[in-house]
Amino acid sequence: MTTKNLLVELFVEELPPKALKKLGESFAELIFDGLKSRSLVSGDDKFVAYASPRRLAVHVSNVMTTAPDQEVKEKLMPVSVALNADGKPTDALRKRLAKVGRADLADLWPNAVDGPDKLYVASDGKAEAIFLRSMAKGSSLQVGLQSALEDMLDKLPIPKVMTYQLADGWSDVNFVRPAHGLVALHGSEMVPVSVLGLDAGRETGGHRFEAKNPVVSITDADSYAAQLRDEGAVIASFAERRAEIERQLAAAAAKDGLKPIEDEALLDEVTALVERPNVLAGQFEEAFLEVPQECLILTMKANQKYFPLLDANRKLTNRFLIVSNISPADASAVIGGNERVVRPRLADAKFFFDQDRKKPLESRVPGLAKVVYHSKLGTQGERVERVMAIARAIGEKLGSEELALQADRAALLAKADLLTDMVGEFPELQGIMGRYYALHDGLGDAIAFAIEDHYKPRFAGDELPRNDVGVCVALADKLETLAGLFGIGQVPTGDKDPFALRRHALGVLRILVEKSLPLSLAELVNIAFAAFPKGLVADAHTDVETFMFERLGGMMREQGYTANEVEAVLSLRPVRIDKVPLQLLAVRAFSKLPEAESLAAANKRVGNILKKVEGGVPTAIDAALFKETAETALSRALDKIRPVADAALESGDYTGSLTALAALKTPVDSFFDGVMVNAEDPALKANRLALLNQLHQTMNRVADLAKLAA
């Protein structure tokens, strides 16, 4: 079977930069998968994706000219319908064979056993049936690639479809951007396919300004990348172009002992904007550095796609890097143009900063009463009052009246920067600008950092609030959001979570765990609901707690704990969330004990027995009623072990508490081997149930060990 490498390229107008990486990857994967599903490539063959601002392409290794013939097995009908009492084909079978063009096989039955096509009897899983085995002709590359291209168009993750006219002036097609060329080469031979009104050829476009040849004629599939680089001045590979930008950024910054800001999303976007990168250095007036560096960095990144440069202390300098798409001999005009463009942006930021500082942050608080937070939950002003109440209560739980007062103050001001000009221009700076303006107003670090940090953690891996005041306000802000939205029925469903409630829940949990806070989750949720005026929201505290424990379970599983370990701990709904990691470690250590499997199984058995007890489980144990030696032995073992396990538990030694239970294995096994729990004597039965109840309580204080049973 002849194989050659295949190159397919769509040449288009400038693609949306934020979508290019995903479009390039999907274009390549979809075409490769389409060829593979049609047996034109084997599972071991590879492909390489290419994506630049004006092209999507894929290079596939070892593509066949024609796919091998495929054996096809088709069930025709049950034997009871296909054959008569004499074993001869019925009219129903003859009609079915005629429909597929093989009526001759009916006359040959049952002797047509050789050759590519035959009838045979086999079970379909329920009864015996007549099957037709035939050989289907393998697809040609032209047919297979045409189908793969059409499938790709249906499945490509286009963010927004564009409708445009073809050259005939009548036909419309839909694609992410107008397409102007299609290349399809199998080795050096063109594959006659078409898509989006374009017939495949071997010509593509080079760099708009710097190509040696505006039109590049691709010799063969393997020369594509090299020809584009040499003749077209284009680095076709997204990954290669990105790596080259990183290299140039690091080299340009190192000349002045600086480092470019790290921003993966910006790097991807810039890679999608240029075909042959050329990094240049620019600068702006040092006077602009009086503006908070977050503002300047965001301005340069968001508006101009520049890479600001930081010094060794990660402080912003007045220098930045430009990723240009052209490489003139004299770059001064390019650099000067970019410097002129950035100045008005920085001047706007300075103006906003100067204007905002003319009004104290607290003077903006009344304006929040005019900002709608949610149609069912009132204004931002009303929300601030609720957050203040929750933050005060948490402050009282965590520390002192002083902490509560500071938390109250920080919560009052936390949303005030939403009404500043700077945040109005750059919403991403909310909280950050509040800190700067609070410091300017002389409010001190505790309040200022709390204003910034109350949004934290904003994403997975983000840092937590830096001080106790920030912890109080961050918890209050997230709990108010959870209580309010659950209280009006705005619950996440499936992948939909428009209010980021999962993120808020994980933020609360991370703060509780990583800050080791001695707070009850149930109490926090109740405090949150109590902050709402009566009748504004429904009492959904149980739903919120369940939601939080589900998130906690996922968080712990992501940290490497098994589903059984997590379920064993969380099924008890622990009061102190911060102790959960220690409980999980204890459960893992217990699981490694030789006694663990037997004790877990026994615990499960005890639990099942107690569940079936009607009218409540007895609690009082009377040693005088013990009839069997095993009863007495288990009771004595419990009296000896329970104080040890409880003392370890009270001191926070969860592993020690569970390890102490190992000594119960022998008396527990002996009890179940020699004692009939459901005795005929009611008093005897009640006494044995009380003993099992005490055993169950002793074993399940750290975790429900039954969850570990196989």
Residue type at position 307: F
Q: What is the CATH number of domain 362-560?
A: 1.10.3210
Q: Which CATH number fits domain 3-66+140-230: 1.10.10, 3.30.70, 2.70.50, 2.70.98?
A: 3.30.70
Q: Return the residue matching tokens 């056993």.
A: 113
Percent of the chain with pLDDT over 90: 81
Apex CA 708: angle with CA 704 and CA 710, to 5°? Answer: 140
Q: Return the residue matching tokens 């059409």.
A: 150
The pLDDT of residue 548 is: 97
Task: Name the residue among 584, 590, 610 with its Cα closest to residue 695.
Answer: 610
pLDDT in tens, 237-250: 999 999 999 999 99
Structure tokens at 537: 């929201």
Q: What is the DSSP string of 579-613?
A: GHHHHHHHHHHHHTSTTHHHHHHHHHHHHHHHHT-
Give the confidence band of 513 by pLDDT, cuts at 50, 70, 90.
very high
Residue type at position 464: L
pLDDT in tens, 123-174: 877 888 888 877 777 789 999 999 999 999 999 999 999 999 988 888 899 9
Structure tokens at 199: 């017939």
List 7's β-bridge partners, or say none: 59, 185
User: Domains of the chain: which residue ranges?
Assistant: 3-66+140-230, 70-136, 238-356, 362-560, 594-708
Element (H, E) at 474: helix 468-487
Residue type at position 675: V
3-class DSSP state of 86: coil
3-class DSSP state of 429: helix
φ/ψ of residue 123, rounded to 5:
-80, 140
Residue type at position 93: L
3-class DSSP state of 340: helix
Q: What is the CATH number of domain 594-708?
A: 1.10.730.10
3-class DSSP state of 8: strand
3-class DSSP state of 441: coil
Task: Name the residue among 582, 560, 563, 603 with its Cα closest to residue 651.
Answer: 582
C-beta contacts of 203-209 below 8 A and 24+ residues apart = 204/9, 204/11, 204/55, 204/228, 204/232, 205/11, 205/54, 205/180, 205/181, 205/232, 206/231, 206/232, 206/233, 206/234, 207/232, 207/233, 207/234, 207/275, 207/276, 207/325, 208/275, 209/325, 209/326
For all residues of the chain together, what is the average pLDDT? 93
Structure tokens at 16: 């949306």
**Angle between helix 580-591 and 541-558 (nearest 10):** 50
CB atoms inside a 10 Å sphere around CB 17:
16
Assess whether pLDDT exceeds 80 at residue 420.
yes
For residues 680-709, give the mean pLDDT.
Answer: 92
CB atoms inside a 10 Å sphere around CB 697:
12
The pLDDT of residue 617 is: 84
φ/ψ of residue 313, rounded to 5:
-95, 15
Assess whether pLDDT exceeds 80 at residue 410.
yes
Is the distance from CB of 415 to CB of 443 less than 8 angstroms?
A: no
Q: How far apart are CA 80 and CA 129, in angstroms?
A: 8
The pLDDT of residue 112 is: 54
pLDDT in tens, 450-475: 999 999 999 988 999 999 999 999 99
Give the confidence band of 114 by pLDDT, cuts at 50, 70, 90.
low
Single pTM value for the model? 0.82
Task: Name the residue among 179, 148, 193, 323 with its Cα closest to residue 252.
Answer: 323
pLDDT in tens, 302-317: 989 999 999 999 999 9
Assess whether pLDDT exceeds 70 at residue 1.
no
Q: Return the residue matching tokens 């009640």.
A: 686
Task: Name the residue among 434, 214, 426, 210 with its Cα closest to residue 299.
Answer: 426
The pLDDT of residue 33 is: 94
pLDDT in tens, 33-72: 999 988 899 877 799 999 999 999 999 999 999 888 777 7
For residues 541-555, give the mean pLDDT.
Answer: 97
Element (H, E) at 390: helix 380-398
Is the distance from CB of 572 to CB of 578 less than 8 angstroms?
A: no
Q: How far apart are CA 421 and CA 436, in angstroms?
A: 14
Phi-psi region of 99 (alpha: psi -120 to 50; beta: other; left: phi over 0): alpha
